[in-house]
Amino acid sequence: MRRSARPDAGRYPYLDNAAGTPPRPQPIALSHRGFAPDGGENTLAAFERAVDLGFRYLEIDVHASSDGVVMVFHDEVLDRVTGDRGPIGARTAEELGGLSVGGGGGIPTLEAVLLRWPEVRLNVDVKSDACVRPFADLINRHAAHDRVLVASFSDRRRRAVLRLLDRPTASSAGMAVNALLKIAAPLGLAGPVARTARVHALQVPETYRGMRVVTRGFVRRCEAAGLQVHVWTVNERTGMDRLLDLGVHGIVSDAADVLAECISERAVWPQGRPSP
């Protein structure tokens, strides 16, 4: 497996997962919504299980409560994983904290996650416009810029967050910029596009609608442009090995136990505390 220097790791410490003696870049393993094989995604219990496995990068999702608190939750509505119904944005943080997610604990606040695991880095998908300012205010208040990567399927929303942050913060492309970079990379234009879009990582599926997105050439061209490539959501060991052999910089998985085993056989594990 080729391992090269991490693009943008110097300016954006979130992207620096160097380890070993001497320190060398390691693939970033992200536990998708924590580790919840029996339900309870995006809960403190799910994050605890992932951290106990050795993960120091968690992929999470956030919405805003009706009283402007940043809550860790994926869906716009409560129906799928709680015993309740209706939009998450219509409830207060206190009400949301009292709901049962997958039969486990309530919906946590992002602040609770930041404070409970100060060594953990968070890949945060900002799911709603209402969450933009509360999220940016929270990151500024806790000076957590080096601990988060700002993500969103909406590039407009992602850039709105970045404008409100008072320090440089790593960010991954939304759907529109991902598509543009896929086109621009073979033309040697990925670097200018990424700089204009304020993007430092591409988080993409291996294939999309039957088209292969992640190839060795694509990874190489992105890396030359200063971009990391993280692939989601990879749950089979064969897929993890294949992608790591292509040189991808990160893998997002629901099967945290499988990914932990894979990385432990190929790189330094547990990940430990990323370099400051």
pLDDT tens digits, residue range 174-184? 999 999 999 99
Q: Over range 160-187, report the average pLDDT.
A: 96
Of the candidates 231, 223, 166, 175, the one whose C-alpha atom is nearest the C-alpha of residue 200 is 223
Of the candidates 16, 124, 108, the one whose C-alpha atom is nearest the C-alpha of residue 71 is 108
Q: What average pLDDT is seen over the chain?
A: 94
Q: Over range 64-70, report the average pLDDT.
A: 98
pLDDT tens digits, residue range 94-151? 999 999 998 878 999 999 999 999 999 999 999 999 999 999 999 999 999 999 999 9
* Domains parsed from the chain with CATH numbers: 13-37+46-60+113-266 (3.20.20.190)
Catalytic member of 32, 63, 145, 200: 32
pLDDT of residue 83: 87
For residue 21, is pLDDT > 90?
Answer: no
At 195, which amino acid appears? R
Our answer to whether residue 32 is catalytic in this structure is yes
For residue 9, is pLDDT > 80?
Answer: no
pLDDT tens digits, residue range 191-244? 999 999 999 999 999 999 898 999 999 999 999 999 999 999 999 999 999 999
Our answer to whether residue 249 is catalytic in this structure is no
Between 256-266 and 44-53, two packed helices, what is the crossing angle to 10 degrees?
20
Query: Which letter, b or e, does each residue of 69-103 get, where b requires 16 or more Cβ atoms within 10 Å of its Cβ?
Result: bbbbbbbeebeebbeeeeebbebebebbbebbbbe
For residue 164, is pLDDT > 80?
Answer: yes
